[in-house]
């Protein structure tokens, strides 16, 4: 049994990320313009939808992603040539400085090879031919600095892309990236990367894309406010997993909040206060402390007791994670294992297809805190809204109905092989399972199983890791009787299952009222999956599993295992202990 001190330490780490509590004072709601004209910005309460629970206080960082096509074209006259040249030179200097910093940082994180990408970009910016060409285009075409950058770098990128050598062809992307950096610098935006946010930042964004969220970090970002972010948008899921309070669905956010504004976020009730007065701050601090005390008690109870309903049903609570930091948090929160290890951030953060060795190293390092526990590693679920640059997946008319998850893996054997070999390697030390994403037909599963068997034989591994299918499509849910012949377990991904059953895109703000993940249709499908699966275990790892109000209904469907964002584990465990499952 853990000591109280140990539980307290655990709590401190965990509670820092998961404060929940009461709403802000209703009287503070004010829809008048935020600036009172005397320079002091007025307090304002914004109401949205809580998509990741907890309370936070920080300074606003307004994230505006500049699209390259937004930069305007204008002609200049003789008197402006020198000014525009100076702007180009300054942008080059700025970008060079950033590249040097990035190279150092990446070298520390990922090694020299990855850092060389930035060094090669630096070399291009130092190339006298490139600088001469920019000056020539500026003087002959008499166009502004932004258009000079676009013109010169477009030609340069094309030149690389036309080369015979594949490695050099890929340099085209690095040139585009350079062009983007220069344009951002010309627009006066230096910190477009979410990687380098200062401590205590509340990120304010219109919408966050998965590639942006790869860089979110608990050490800097204490809260997120977004105009668009439904509870199952990937950004919202990530915020929840990181234990970062998040409020979505706040209209005109970017027109309302300014960089540097003090922001209070309540992700539980879905509200935020901008530039709070002393009274609002006191109220916030009091709520924060009260919640902290309640949590401290609960974290201790959770660390020493198992999760069993009042009538004796055992319900293991696993965690959804994507990094070592998450796994540490999951263990501190008392998770019984890892029910979903999302691998997309790792594969999206590199410029080249990672080798099986580098993936195995990443897994070993990330999984260490959960050694000895069940850990289900999901194979890469890309396509749709997530595309690693090295695959060059062409755009599709209906990305969510197109090449995604296992469909991509079947088309890119190298990508599948690297992952399976890495998991097989790691399975010699850890209790890992393999989860197949976006299954629709039986051959999606048999294909992966046969590859796994082949690589295991080649590697001399006799006992295969557990293999599971994600049930995220109605087709898979209706094919359990066939699928169960090939797998050891099922994990229901209610986020995608809802989008495909309710025909409502999970990232589409226009149909959120149709995206009902606790709809009777979804609960019936879950019940069907449990019934048809026979003795094959079924768990839920979609966001529905974290809904305390729905858990009694999930238990009635026969579900006996859940996987939720790490920070939610204590609350879920606590709630389950108070449930009596009448149907049992
Ligand atoms: C799901 O679809 O419910 C799921 C867990 O997968 P993801 O949210 O990563 O698509
Ligand atoms: Mg899914």
Q: Percent of the chain having pLDDT more than 70?
A: 82
Q: How far apart are CA 541 and CA 158, in angstroms?
A: 44
pLDDT value, residue 519: 97
Of 18-27, 317-326, 407-416, minimum mean pLDDT range: 18-27
Asked whether residue 35 carries a pLDDT value surpassing 60, the answer given is no
Ligand nearest to the CA of 491: 1
pLDDT value, residue 166: 62
Asked whether residue 16 carries a pLDDT value surpassing 50, the answer given is no
* 234 part of the active site: yes
Residue of 40, 26, 46, 15 lying closest to 264 (CA atoms): 46
User: What average pLDDT does range 71-87 have in this prediction?
Assistant: 85
The pLDDT confidence band at residue 114, using thresholds 50, 70 and 90, is: low
Asked whether residue 144 carries a pLDDT value surpassing 50, the answer given is yes
Say if residues 154 and 134 touch (Cβ distance below 8 Å).
Answer: no
Of 96-105, 189-198, 467-476, minimum mean pLDDT range: 189-198
Q: Which of 192, 234, 246, 374 is catalytic?
A: 234
Residue of 244, 228, 240, 264 lying closest to 60 (CA atoms): 264
Q: How far apart are CA 291 and CA 19, in angstroms?
A: 6
In the CATH hierarchy, which top-level class contains the domain 321-540?
alpha beta
* 129 part of the active site: no
Find the 1 Cα to ligand 2 centroid distance in Å: 37
The pLDDT confidence band at residue 391, using thresholds 50, 70 and 90, is: confident
Q: How far apart are CA 526 and CA 544, in angstroms?
A: 11
Return the higher-pLDDT residue of 553 and 251. 553
Digit-coded pLDDT (tens) for 463-501: 999 999 999 999 999 999 999 999 999 999 999 999 999
The domain segmentation of the chain, as residue ranges, is 2-66+194-292, 78-186, 321-540
Is any atom of ligand 1 closer than 6 Å to the C-beta of 51? no
Residue of 228, 245, 340, 257 lying closest to 564 (CA atoms): 340
**CATH code, residues 78-186:** 1.10.274.10
User: What average pLDDT does range 210-214 have in this prediction?
Assistant: 53
Q: How far apart are CA 485 and CA 31, in angstroms?
A: 59
Is any atom of ligand 1 closer than 6 Å to the C-beta of 494? yes
Closest residue by CA, ligand 1 atom 1: 493
pLDDT value, residue 217: 74
User: What average pLDDT does range 110-114 have in this prediction?
Assistant: 59
**Count of CA atoms in the C-beta half-sphere (13 A) of 305:** 16
Helix axes 4-18, 324-332, angle to 10 degrees: 130
Closest residue by CA, ligand 1 atom 8: 495
pLDDT value, residue 387: 74
The pLDDT confidence band at residue 5, using thresholds 50, 70 and 90, is: very low
Is any atom of ligand 1 closer than 6 Å to the C-beta of 541? yes
Say if residues 542 and 536 touch (Cβ distance below 8 Å).
Answer: no
The pLDDT confidence band at residue 148, using thresholds 50, 70 and 90, is: very high
The pLDDT confidence band at residue 28, using thresholds 50, 70 and 90, is: very low
Find the 125 Cα to ligand 2 centroid distance in Å: 41
Closest residue by CA, ligand 1 atom 4: 493
pLDDT value, residue 181: 82
User: Is the CATH number of domain 2-66+194-292 3.30.360.10?
Assistant: no
pLDDT value, residue 13: 38
The pLDDT confidence band at residue 232, using thresholds 50, 70 and 90, is: low
Q: In what order do the strands lie in the sheet with 262-266?
A: 44-47, 271-274, 262-266, 55-63, 201-205, 221-226, 246-248, 49-52
User: What average pLDDT does range 123-149 have in this prediction?
Assistant: 91
User: What average pLDDT does range 237-254 have in this prediction?
Assistant: 84
């Amino acid at each position: 049994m853990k000591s109280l001190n140990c539980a307290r330490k655990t709590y401190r780490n965990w509670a820092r990320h998961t404060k929940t509590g009461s709403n802000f004072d209703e009287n503070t709601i004010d829809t008048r313009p935020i600036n009172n004209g005397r320079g002091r910005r007025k307090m304002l309460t914004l109401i949205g939808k809580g998509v990741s629970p907890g309370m936070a206080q920080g300074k606003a960082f307004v994230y505006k992603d500049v699209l390259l096509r937004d930069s305007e074209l204008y002609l200049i006259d003789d008197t402006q040539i020198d000014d525009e040249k100076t702007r180009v030179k300054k942008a080059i200097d700025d970008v060079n400085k950033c590249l040097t910093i990035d190279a150092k940082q990446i070298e520390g994180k990922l090694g020299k090879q990855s850092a060389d990408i930035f060094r090669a970009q630096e070399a291009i910016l130092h190339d006298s031919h490139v600088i001469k060409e920019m000056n020539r285009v500026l003087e002959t075409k008499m166009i502004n600095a932004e258009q000079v950058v676009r013109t010169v770098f477009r030609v340069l990128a094309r030149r690389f892309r036309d080369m015979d050598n594949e490695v050099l062809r890929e340099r085209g992307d690095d040139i585009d990236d350079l062009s983007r950096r220069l344009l951002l610098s010309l627009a006066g935006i230096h910190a477009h990367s979410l990687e380098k946010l200062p401590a205590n930042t509340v990120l304010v964004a219109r919408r966050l894309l998965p590639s942006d969220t790869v860089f979110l970090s608990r050490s800097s970002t204490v809260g997120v406010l977004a105009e668009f972010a439904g509870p199952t948008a990937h950004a919202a899921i990530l915020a929840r997993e990181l234990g970062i309070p998040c409020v979505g669905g706040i209209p005109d956010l970017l027109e309302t909040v300014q960089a540097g504004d003090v922001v209070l976020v309540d992700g539980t009730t879905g509200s935020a206060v901008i530039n709070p007065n002393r009274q609002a701050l006191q109220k916030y601090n009091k709520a924060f402390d009260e919640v902290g005390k309640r949590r401290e008690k609960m974290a201790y109870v959770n660390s020493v007791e198992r999760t069993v309903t009042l009538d004796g049903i055992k319900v293991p609570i696993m965690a959804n994670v994507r990094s070592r930091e998450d796994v540490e948090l999951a263990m501190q929160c008392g998770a019984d294992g890892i029910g979903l290890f999302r691998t997309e951030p790792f594969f999206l953060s590199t410029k080249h297809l990672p080798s099986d060795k580098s993936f195995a190293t990443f897994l070993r390092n990330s999984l260490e805190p959960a050694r000895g526990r069940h850990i289900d590693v999901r194979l890469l679920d890309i396509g749709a809204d997530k595309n690693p640059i090295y695959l060059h997946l062409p755009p599709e008319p209906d990305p969510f109905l197109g090449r995604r998850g296992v469909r991509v893996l079947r088309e890119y054997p190298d990508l599948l092989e690297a992952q399976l070999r890495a998991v097989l390697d790691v399975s010699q030390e850890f209790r890992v399972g393999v989860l197949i994403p976006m299954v629709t037909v039986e051959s999606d599963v048999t294909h992966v199983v046969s590859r796994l068997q082949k690589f295991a034989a080649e590697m001399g591994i006799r006992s295969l890791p557990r293999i599971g299918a994600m049930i995220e499509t109605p087709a898979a849910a209706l094919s359990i009787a066939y699928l169960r012949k090939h797998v050891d377990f099922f994990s229901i991904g209610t986020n995608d299952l809802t989008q495909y059953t309710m025909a409502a895109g999970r990232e589409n703000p226009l149909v959120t009222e149709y995206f009902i993940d606790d709809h009777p249709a979804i609960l019936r499908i879950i019940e069907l999956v449990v019934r048809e699966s026979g003795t094959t275990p079924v768990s839920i790892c979609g966001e529905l599993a974290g809904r305390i109000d729905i858990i009694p209904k999930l238990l009635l469907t026969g579900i006996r295992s859940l996987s939720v964002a790490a920070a939610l584990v204590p609350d879920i465990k606590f709630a389950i202990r108070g449930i009596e499952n009448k149907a049992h």
